[in-house]
Structure 1
Amino acid sequence: MKTFKNKLYIALFSAILAGVSCEKELEFRSPLGTDSSVPSQITDTKVISLPGKVKITYKVPADPNLAYVKAQYLLKSGELFETKSSIYSDTLTVEGFADTNEHEVKLYSVSKSEVVSAPLVVKVKALEPPFLKVFESIRIDNAFGGYNLTAKNDAKESIGIMVMRKNDFKQFEVDNQRSVRTRVEDVVSKIRNLDTTRQEMAVFVKDRWGNSSDTLFTSIQPIFEQEFPTQNFRAFELPGDAPSINNDARVEYMWDGRYGWPWTSFTHQVNGGSIPHMITFDMGNKGKISRIWIRPYPEGNRWYYLTTMKRFEIYGSVNPSSNGSLDSWTLLGSFENVKPSGLPYGNDSADDQAIASAGLSYEIEVAKPEVRYIRVRCLENFAGGTALSINEIKVYGSPSK
């Protein structure tokens, strides 16, 4: 009997809530008054042109019957767009313009009874819309195993860079896997694992109002990538290179294919001093480098973020100076490792350990020259020193024949 009463109370309570909800919804959807008089129009309109949009300021009339102000205007698609602003604001922003031509915006005062005033027509001209600026900035470069697409989105607007490639019928269609949808300022898309044959592609940009740019037609030819053979590697110590912690932590252990201690390269913090530690090796033949893969040394078999490099540089050369200076070296890249979990020193999460144990890749810009010798320079490790430890290293790119 108690269970039945509880169910009855719940049913009654739900019915009451439903009634209240319906009543509130009806109240919200219904006009707030019965006054049929036409509200006063806004005055003193001023127009501020912005990229792809226009801000309109005005003076709100002292009309107690006024509820809000709305603007209506046509977009390039022919769609009638509408935006509203309450009586507590003196500004409306109309967006979505696809050009810098003159457009009409109709401004209406709306009463609490939803009575609409006659339109006040304002002529507006937006500045060049963001999606067109993004399109103008697009750059597509061949890369190892794919291509790099970059663009500038200074306005940080929501845009889509739509990448198209030919289907089986030789017709261009959008490839959603390669297209980019973002609102970041610096757009970077790196596509990899493509065949090295020449491929046609097309790109256009659209915004959230459906406006689209022209289409850029181009072709790419990914650069062949392979691992440099480690059997040709050898240590190449130069003046200024840091000494290893002992004979069991030599440079050669970086490419011996074995994990953990003692098969790791480890410089001596005390004997190497507090300046950035460097190590150097010869790959045996020159070539363009696409990326360098480094597996950090797991101290205690699991703690990676100790003497692992935090901030470091990688240099390359074809003919290094015998005095050990960096004058004959090209900076291939400056890098920084960030612990994924953000935990303090000495505390690694399971994700930290999994990511580090899989190794970390550092991409080299394709414009960098061919090199034969590699120099790693540690600016700071996670322990706060400058010593460096590398368990394994692999170099990828296109070796010269």
Structure 2
Amino acid sequence: MKRMNKNLLVLLVGLTVAFSSCKEDVIEPLENNTNPPGKVSNISITNGPGNATITFSLPSDKDLLYVKAVYNLANGQEMEVKTSYYGNSLLVEGFGDTKEHEVKVYAVNRSETASEPVFVKVKPLENPIWGVYRSLKAVADFGGLNFKGSNPSKADLAIEVLVLSKGKYVPTSKNIYTAAIDIDQSIRGLDTLSQKFAITIRDRWLNYSDTLFTTLKPLYETVLSKSTYKEVILPTDTPQEYSSTGVSKMWDGNIIDWPSVCLTKTTVLTPQWVTFDLGKIATLSRIVVWNYPEYLNAGRTYYYGGNLKDFEIWGTDNPPADGSYNNWVMLGKYSSQKPSKSAYGVQTSEDYAFANAGISYNFAVGLKKVRYIRIKSINNWQGTSFMSVSEVQLYGDPR
């Protein structure tokens, strides 16, 4: 019994030591200099759209770690931005108006001791939401609405779309997110009934423009069944690289496997094209293209080799037998872009998902009805002109 008590005592002491050594870790500055560093100096301000750049000279303190700016947005939210001691400027952004705003700039040392603030005044230029709002044009599109506008500062913006339902405007969950200079995007999946819409522009700091109200009737759109697609071989069409590939492979339902691909001659360096018949005449709204993902060490890779980069889509209801472009109309001219804008041969997960889902290219409203389609490759991602396309899908109104 005494031995058990002695063992129990040893165990309790051990546990006490163990638990006492498991204190919560506290991250503290590596140094302990409570003397504040000097203040930044020689400050200059460059006002921009919804923002301002503050440029300064650093103090001479050897233990300087970073410089920060603290300011408030119109909604009361406090903002803080930092730059290391290697930098000499700070971008303060998120302003929704052109009023004067106060910004406090601090130098901070390695002990997290801040200097006295330097108070500066910034007066941002007009927030980009307003320029986009004034330039925005909303028109009926196939199955939805099309928006065109100008965003010269390439600001990250959202076009929010609400629809009148039971006496109040409710979100459609079909917002457009863009940083494009020339906005030209559509939302789809809306009823083809005349509806009242409310449209507003928002930035990522929740600054909103005024609201654009409009009444529009989305145009009818349906999937054009691939069961009626047929290959057409005209005298000027580019032949296939292999007998196992073919134009008809673009509607066999297989978007990824070899040789389920339309692969034209790789030795032809001038623009190439292939032709096919939809089987019925229709007003076309868009084409979705699945390029062929090449086998590379990093895995299946889009935006590579013969994937379409700069290309045109042509249509006609009566193709000339000589293979010429007489009687053909250009339905659209396109340039494919990776979401990541990364270098050739580099593919992010976002890039892969975007291409693997099929890339949609819109046709303008009001084009003539066509039955025959030509895909004309000007430049592929490799820099030549052959095409490697796994699948296509056309949409439109065949009525």
The normalised TM-score by structure 1 is 0.63
Q: 1:166 to 1:99 in 2, by over 3 A?
A: same
User: Are residue 223 (structure 1) and residue 219 (structure 2) matched?
Assistant: yes
Paired position in structure 2 for 1:365: 363
Question: Are the equivalent residues in 2 in contact too, given 1:76–1:211 (CA < 8 A)?
Answer: no
Name the stretch that deviates more: 379-388 or 125-134.
379-388
Q: How many angstroms does 1:203 deviate by?
A: 1.5
- Separation of aligned partners in 1, 2:90 and 2:385: 56
- Separation of aligned partners in 2, 1:58 and 1:304: 45
- Separation of aligned partners in 2, 1:208 and 1:63: 36
Query: Which one of 34, 46, 50 corresponds to residue 48 of structure 2?
Result: 50
Q: Residues 2-401 of structure 1 correspond to what in structure 2 (within 5 A)?
A: 7-15=15-23, 17-18=24-25, 21=26, 24=28, 32=34, 45-57=43-55, 75-77=73-75, 79=76, 81=78, 83=80, 91=89, 93-101=91-99, 103=100, 105=102, 124-168=122-166, 170-175=167-172, 177-181=173-177, 190-228=186-224, 236-242=232-238, 269=265, 278-283=273-278, 285-292=280-287, 310-311=307-308, 313-331=312-330, 332-334=332-334, 360=358, 362-367=360-365, 369-370=367-368, 371-377=370-376, 395-399=394-398, 401=399
- Separation of aligned partners in 2, 1:84 and 1:247: 60
- Separation of aligned partners in 1, 2:380 and 2:58: 61
Aligned-partner SS, 1:131: helix
Residue identity matched to 2:160: M
Structure 1 gap segments, 5+ residues each: 346-351
Q: How many angstroms does 1:387 deviate by?
A: 7.3
- Separation of aligned partners in 2, 1:360 and 1:115: 52
Q: How many angstroms does 1:196 deviate by?
A: 0.7
Q: How many angstroms does 1:247 deviate by?
A: 10
What number of residue pairs does the alignment pair up?
366
Q: 1:4 to 1:316 in 2, by over 3 A?
A: farther
Q: How many angstroms does 1:209 deviate by?
A: 3.8
Residue identity matched to 1:32: T
CA deviations on 1:349-399 (whole Å, 9 max, x unpaired) are xxx9xx97xx95653313362223222345689999977788876543112
- Separation of aligned partners in 2, 1:7 and 1:115: 42
Residue identity matched to 2:307: K
CA RMSD of aligned residues (A): 5.9
- Separation of aligned partners in 2, 1:396 and 1:364: 9
- Separation of aligned partners in 2, 1:391 and 1:86: 47
Aligned-partner SS, 1:11: helix
Question: Are the equivalent residues in 2 in contact too, given 1:51–1:130 (CA < 8 A)?
Answer: yes
- Separation of aligned partners in 1, 2:202 and 2:362: 31
- Separation of aligned partners in 1, 2:184 and 2:313: 22
Quote the sequence identity (%).
29
Q: 1:325 to 1:127 in 2, by over 3 A?
A: same
Q: 1:120 to 1:304 in 2, by over 3 A?
A: closer
The normalised TM-score by structure 2 is 0.63
- Separation of aligned partners in 2, 1:393 and 1:313: 14
Instruction: Mark the structure with the bigger radius of gyration.
Output: 1
Question: Are the equivalent residues in 1 in contact too, given 2:307–2:387 (CA < 8 A)?
Answer: no
- Separation of aligned partners in 2, 1:258 and 1:70: 54
Q: How many angstroms does 1:48 deviate by?
A: 2.0
Paired position in structure 2 for 1:348: none
Aligned-partner SS, 2:237: coil
Residue identity matched to 1:14: C
Aligned-partner SS, 2:208: coil
Q: 1:57 to 1:253 in 2, by over 3 A?
A: closer
- Separation of aligned partners in 2, 1:86 and 1:250: 56
Question: Are the equivalent residues in 2 in contact too, given 1:148–1:189 (CA < 8 A)?
Answer: yes
- Separation of aligned partners in 1, 2:84 and 2:388: 65
Q: 1:120 to 1:104 in 2, by over 3 A?
A: farther
CA deviations on 1:208-245 (whole Å, 9 max, x unpaired) are 44432111112332221234467876665432235679
Q: 1:152 to 1:280 in 2, by over 3 A?
A: same
Question: Are the equivalent residues in 1 in contact too, given 2:40–2:107 (CA < 8 A)?
Answer: no
Question: Are the equivalent residues in 2 in contact too, given 1:310–1:336 (CA < 8 A)?
Answer: no
- Separation of aligned partners in 2, 1:217 and 1:136: 13
Q: 1:286 to 1:82 in 2, by over 3 A?
A: closer
Residue identity matched to 2:237: D
Question: Are the equivalent residues in 2 in contact too, given 1:162–1:206 (CA < 8 A)?
Answer: yes
Residue identity matched to 2:322: N
Question: Are the equivalent residues in 2 in contact too, given 1:291–1:361 (CA < 8 A)?
Answer: no
Q: 1:207 to 1:318 in 2, by over 3 A?
A: same
Aligned-partner SS, 1:126: coil
- Separation of aligned partners in 2, 1:228 and 1:252: 15
